[in-house]
Chains A and B, each alone.
Chain A
Amino acid sequence: MPDFECRLKKYRQLKELTQEQLAQQVGVRRETIMRLEKAQYNPSLKLAVDISRAVEAPIEDIFIFP
């Protein structure tokens, strides 16, 4: 299990995006977004950057590693 905190849900809701919409924007399945929001999946750098661009928030604010 990845050991980090994920604040994607907060930023996604701020942008008023559904999980499905965000998943389509970044080219993954909705299940992957769910896992990310629960910090159960450690994304690749490319996916993290794509998500950061989609929700318009810095990567380090979305994925917080201790």
Chain B
Amino acid sequence: MKKPSVKFTVILGVIVVLLLAGASWYSIMFNDWRLVARMDFEAYEFLSKDLPMLGALLLFNLYVIYLGGLLVWAIVASKRRLAKTKTTRKMDPRLGLLGVFGFFGFVGFWTYSAFHQVYPFIFFVFFGFFGFFYEGRMSGILMDERYVENRTRAELAAHRVTVAALFVTLLVVARGAILGNLEYTLIAVLIVLSLTVALDLFLSEYLLYRYDRADQLDEGGEG
């Protein structure tokens, strides 16, 4: 079975999002915000005007399931290739740009003050995706014993730093409240946890790259 191309997946995603946006617009303009604004589904009665929104939601959910399937496919394929070739996974360093999504974490300050919603803080985890830049620069190389050793060293160093950060956070939040407010404490914990996960993801890739390529300029060619 052939793997679907990235282009196909992105185009499909754009179409689904556009359909959802169109259906939302239709609902807002002509259907009294039904299925867009929060509503009581126990008292829900079907109207034919709901069809565009229901269809768009169905497509959106199917697309999410499709993405989940792709993820499983990628993991299985990666494991098979690993067992066969013993090389690192293929990755474009430009995927490191996904780390930019980490800045969406700052939206959490606004959503908290406006709606008391804190979930956008989780986006800080995306900062860890900057590590894909380094992983991409080492993609497709043979995982020999030196690589495995460096990988272990890098992960250990990254875990040490993140555990230290978590320990300090624990000491601070264990005092009970930040600025005398338990909600602020929860937000602080959420931010620190997200940033810690991001740091772990990033550091393990960055340190592996540094250990592997250290003194590269100093290395001679054939002697």
The interface of chain A, by Cβ under 8 A from chain B, is 9, 13, 18-19, 27-29, 31-32, 34-35, 37-38, 40-41, 43-44, 46-47
Contact = CB atoms under 8 A, between A and B. Distances in A.
Contacts of A28: 142, 144-146
B45 interface: no
B219 A44 contact: no
B22 to A, nearest CB: 52
B212 A31 contact: yes
Contacts, number: 34
A32 to B, nearest CB: 5
B141 interface: yes
Contacts of A19: 221-223
Interface residues of B, number: 13
Counting chain A CB atoms within 10 Å of each CB, the highest count among B144, B212, B215 belongs to: B144
B220 interface: yes
Nearest to B145: A44
B223 A40 contact: no
Contacts of B219: 31, 34, 38
B101 interface: no
Contact of A37 (B141, B146, B223): B223
Nearest to B142: A29
A42 B222 CA distance: 20
A55 to B, nearest CB: 14
B103 interface: no
A60 to B, nearest CB: 20
A18 B222 CA distance: 7
A1 B31 CA distance: 71
A13 B223 CA distance: 8
A13 B147 CA distance: 25
Nearest to A37: B223
A41 B222 contact: no
B145 A40 contact: no
A21 B56 CA distance: 58
Please provide the 5 A-B residue pairs with the shortest distance between their CB atoms, ordered closest to farther: A28-B144, A32-B146, A34-B219, A29-B142, A29-B144
Contact of A9 (B141, B146, B215, B223): B223
Contacts of A41: 146
